[in-house]
A and B are shown apart, each in its own frame.
Chain A
Amino acid sequence: MSFEKELEQGRFYIPECLACKKLVWPPSEFCDNCNEETSLKKEEFEGKIIEFSRQNEEYFCVVEFGDSIRIMAKMIALPKKDQIVKISKCGISEGSYFFQVI
């Protein structure tokens, strides 16, 4: 499972169970439902803004993908609740993931 290798390249792919097809989050080599192996679902996911706040000039949002996967992401423009967004930037910095949406 190469989630982090893809993330380092700026690509956000969510692992999917090869057996039960569940999207698995946090990213894992094994399904948290049936314990079978996962592989990355290589598509561009759309997310929805669930909640947000702001620190200085940057917004930070809870973004939901696929009805169950939630991450916290940065947003430059003023977000709106239920707004549909896409990952515009992502990666790993000093061991921590980072995500930005537009």
Chain B
Amino acid sequence: MVKVGIVAYGTTPFTKDDHKIETILHKSTKDLFQKNPKIDKKEIDAVLISTNNNSKYLSPILSEMVGIQPKIAHSIESLCNSGTNSIVSAFSYIASGLADMVLVSGAERYDSPGQILEWDNSRGEFKHPIFWASIFSKSYKEKYGISDEELAIVSVKNHKQASKNPNALSKKTYTVEDVMNSKKLTDDLKLLDCSRPCTGSASILLASEEIMKKYTDSPIWITGIGQKTTSAGFTKNTSLSSMESTKIAGQSALNMANRNISEIDVAEVHDAFSVCEPMILESIGFTEPGNGMNMIKNLHQTNNFKINPRGGLIGCGHPLGATGISQTIEIIEQLQNNAAGRQTDNPKTGLIHNMSAAATSSTVLVLEK
């Protein structure tokens, strides 16, 4: 199989601004090309758009706006893990030989229609994500004897890390008391336990090994991919305190990369709500079931940015179609030692976990120098 790497990336700040989806897609792509002026756009075979926005024909539109005439041009939507799913599609095009270089651009507006899965009528009138998050929180806390104050540390840690990220939506740091005193959404969820929808875009350029050699001396390779969809509806989740799709996707990605979880130096995981972070760490195998909060507390106390260095979804904001790509860019920057104030200690192997709709679908990527 053709080796696939990442040539270049670009991003916008994540904000609450009211911009057209086409405009923000253009901005992150422009950032990519401005940072990498030697890239020959004629070599780009495919342009893939990751978004939940209802605008049509976005890939040909972006291609025209930036002066690309690709062979392959289409959009990919899979709610919150559209971004990594698009990267997997790009990888597949290159690995199969159908393309040598693929631009993946993800974007979302603060008012994305992807925030609520209208189809999932099993949730009754409780379709907003805060309800599944509340059920996960209640179940996880009861099963492992975790308090609200302990879960609040996830938000405190990730806002702290986001404060070192110039593109993050959140610029503030918070205490456990701040989280506990933030608006009570349900008995098991406070406002600061939640990631926030926002406007943002992130773009990434993937290429075959041969093309990579022309453009970069510090290549980052995609060595592992794992994906699993167990259902579309939240209530089909058999466990409410762990994530089955994440377990399977994580193991598949590590197997493909021929790596153990102990070899992962840095990771971006999909902390849509506080409780998701310990559940993900346990489901991927970073720690034993029930020990996720101990791991998170230890990382926070020692100021170790290993998990969610860019601030996660809670700190960065969550522009759905851009999130998986933004997570991937963070791991690239970490592996290239370009993450400035968020930099972890010379990581060699990184992992991205991106999921949709109460963990009914997960995608995990492994990246290496």
Contacts and interface: CB of A to CB of B under 8 A. Distances in A.
B124 A53 contact: no
A13 interface: no
A98 B233 contact: no
Given A53-B187, A62-B135, A95-B118, A72 B233 contact: no
B185 A70 contact: no
B136 to A, nearest CB: 9
A93 B185 CA distance: 23
A25 B125 CA distance: 17
* Most chain A CB within a 10 A radius of its CB, from B122, B138, B185, B240: B122
Interface residues of A, number: 21
Contact of B127 (A53, A74, A96, A99): A96
B165 to A, nearest CB: 32
A53 B135 contact: yes
A54 B122 CA distance: 18
Nearest to A27: B121
B125 A53 contact: no
B134 interface: yes
B240 A99 contact: no
Interface in B185-221: 185-189
B186 A26 contact: no
A53 B138 contact: yes
* Most chain A CB within a 10 A radius of its CB, from B118, B121, B139, B185: B121
A62 B186 CA distance: 15
Contact of A60 (B121, B122, B131, B137): B131
Given A51-B135, A53-B135, A55-B186, A73 B240 contact: no
B235 interface: yes
A26 B124 contact: no
B139 A72 contact: no
Interface of B: 118, 121-127, 131, 134-135, 137-139, 185-189, 233-236, 240
Interface in A5-47: 25-26
Identify the 4 closest CB pairs spanning chains A and B, nearest first. A70-B235, A53-B134, A97-B121, A54-B187
B149 to A, nearest CB: 17
Interface string A88-102: 000001011111000
A72 B122 CA distance: 6
Contacts of A70: 122, 235-236
A76 interface: no
A97 B121 CA distance: 6
A74 B131 CA distance: 12
A73 B135 contact: no
A55 B185 contact: yes
A51 B240 contact: yes
B240 A72 contact: no
A26 B139 contact: no
